[in-house]
Structure 1
Amino acid sequence: MADKNETLDFIIGRHPAMAALKKDGEINKVFLQENLKSDAIHEIYKKAKENGLVVSFVPKSKLDKMTNNQNHQGVAIAVASYKYSEIDDIFALAEKKQEDPFILILDGIEDPHNLGSIMRTADAAGVHGIIIPKRRAVQLTSVVAKTSTGAIEYVPVARVNNLVQTIKELKERGVWVFGTDMKGTDYRKWSAKGATALVIGNEGKGISELVKKNCDEMLTIPMVGHVQSLNASVAASLLIYQGFTSRGN
């Protein structure tokens, strides 16, 4: 599912690897650690052969080098970099499910682990798609894929040049856009019924001022402790599940 002119990347880890093998993706080759016996590795090998893929058994040292010493769990799948969706694909998915669009907009998330975790929650809570900027933000990588534990295969991600312009276009299509800030409506009172987009800001800076000005309403997560901030993926999870609950799920 990736364009041929994109660079190769690796999906690592047993769950992400199996998720990729179950999808119609452009997989180049499967690398398995030699002399590693487990049911999960056997299932990956069996699925790869069913799909007519080339499987190579290699030393752990080679897998370590290929994956920059990440926790690959004995498996790495060489793929073309992930293909991004269009915003229309997100609306089409919502229509297919006969649901009002529930969209996540990430304003400058930089940590691939945060993006992967957010994707995992988005998939679990029925978010129809994620929108990210093309610049000054993490893109879809093997680290994101592994952290998402396979969710990257199911949650459409659209890249846009300008988030502010995109928000304006979403509003023209009837989407109500909610931002997150230190000051705003208590998120526990938020209803995400109807066509809704939720903006999550950068890990340190939050939502940019221009994006904030174009949101219809701001939401806040009350905190009474000494540390007045939450990890971006944790904050996103709380908000996404409030949206999920308010939509009658």
Structure 2
Amino acid sequence: MAGNSQRRNRRTSNKKGATVGSGGKGRRALEGKGPTPPASARKGHVKQRAANAAARRAQARPTSRRPGGGKGNSELVVGRNPVFEALRDGVPAKTLYVQQFIDNDERVRGALQLAAERGDIHLMEAPRPELDRMTNGLNHQGLVLQVPPYEYALPDELSAAAYDAREEPLIVALDGVTDPRNLGAIVRSVTAFGGHGVVVPERRAAGMTAGAWKTSAGTAARTPVARATNLTRALEAYKKEGITVVGLAADGEAEVQDLAALEGPVCIVIGSEGKGLGRLVGETCDVRVRIPMPGGAESLNAGVAAGIVLYEAARRRA
């Protein structure tokens, strides 16, 4: 009967017994190859490509004088309330300057505590004349926070990151939006609805200032903002990649809820509330759409308009 044979040395188990060793001949094969290198050092990895692009941007970025001397585009946040709120809201910062012999009130104590908790902010004590010089005579109230220049992405990096994640790009481009709070609100909406970034022109446009960081409620740390030397050329490059460029305009030929293009790779272009899209930018768009407003309002704030269109895109993609 199977499994009950009386033959000698018959194997009744699949388990291997003791085996003869190699005598140390396989030592080298068993040796480890060291720790796994970080993603940014692995050839072809998306993080290595991002690191290389950041290095190229750093070499190409022009420098200018900042308040207080030195090179770069650092921003200064001055005043007890603004400094405290910037630290509380996670605005990136390099150095907190504190006036010597300052009155230690609640806001000062709070700012010092937040800076200490962050651990990466240098605390510097300076005499009042030095702070006056740094701020060009602004009412700093004894607190000055230095915010480093924002590391902008390149427009093609936004679409590349989406494709690397095997996702259809969902990008917002801004034309003539000059209020940093609008930019921060749009970054927040892009993050909320699964977008891949925001493109802003290099001139006559809001940048990622401390105010934009605050309005983004920390989402600017996760959603990149790219800066285009020429917005029209950046949009044309997107079109060559197969991305549909959709302009938001009050006189658009279609309504946003009827736009099937939102389901695929798309760049949504939003103009200022007053002037709308510029002529060249409007002509570059594949299609222009409008948001229906049965209440009769003439226009919407750029941040509100972006949130509506991004919600519709996220709904269709889901």
User: Normalised by the shorter chain, which TM-score bucket?
Assistant: 0.7 to 0.9
Q: Is the 8 A contact 1:134 1:161 kept in 2?
A: yes
> Would the aligned equivalents of 2:94 and 2:121 in 1 still touch at CA under 8 Å?
no
Say which of 140, 162, 174 aligns to 1:94: 162
Superposed, 1:4-43 pairs within 5 Å as 5-10=71-76, 17=87, 20=90, 27-30=93-96, 34-36=104-106
Q: Does 1:112 align with 2:164?
A: no
1:1-249 alignment, distance < 5 Å: 5-10=71-76, 17=87, 20=90, 27-30=93-96, 34-36=104-106, 44-48=114-118, 50-51=119-120, 53-54=122-123, 77-182=145-250, 183-191=252-260, 192-248=262-318
Contact preservation (8 Å) 1:107, 1:200: yes
CA contact (8 A) 2:273 2:299 kept: no
8 Å contact from structure 1 (residues 103, 197) kept in 2: yes
TM-superposition CA deviations, 1:121-142 (whole Å, max 9, x none): 1111121111111112122211
Q: Give the CA RMSD over aligned residues.
A: 3.5
**d(CA) in 1 for partners of 2:76, 2:272:** 26
CA distance in 2, matches of 1:51, 1:163: 35
SS in 2 for 1:178: strand
Cα distance in 1 for partners of 2:235, 2:123 equals 43
Q: In the comparison of the two structures, how many residue pairs are matched?
A: 238
**Equivalent in the alignment of 2:51:** none
Q: Contact (CA 8 Å) 1:125, 1:241: kept in 2 or not?
A: yes
Distance change in 2, residues 1:125/1:169 (3 Å): same
Q: Unpaired runs of 5+ in structure 1?
A: none
SS in 2 for 1:140: coil
Give the counterpart letter for 2:94 in structure 1.
N
Partner of 2:40: none
Distance 1:173 1:15, change over 3 A: farther
Q: Which amino acid aligns with 1:147?
A: T
Gaps of 5+ in 2: 1-53, 64-70
CA contact (8 A) 1:105 1:132 kept: yes
Distance across 2 between alignment mates of 1:132 and 1:119: 11
Does the CA contact (< 8 Å) of 1:116 and 1:147 recur in 2? Answer: yes
Counterpart Cα distance in 2 of 1:139 and 1:235: 19
**Bigger Rg, structure 1 or 2:** 2
- Give 1:42 deviation, angstroms: 8.1
- The structure with higher relative contact order (CA 8 Å, sep 6+) is 1
Specify the code of the residue in structure 2 equivalent to 1:184: E
1:119 and 1:152 in contact (8 A); partners too: yes
Structure holding more strand per residue: 1
* Cα displacement (A) at 1:93: 2.5
Distance 1:226 1:185, change over 3 A: closer
Match of 1:54, SS state, is: strand
In structure 1, what residue type is equivalent to 2:269?
Answer: V
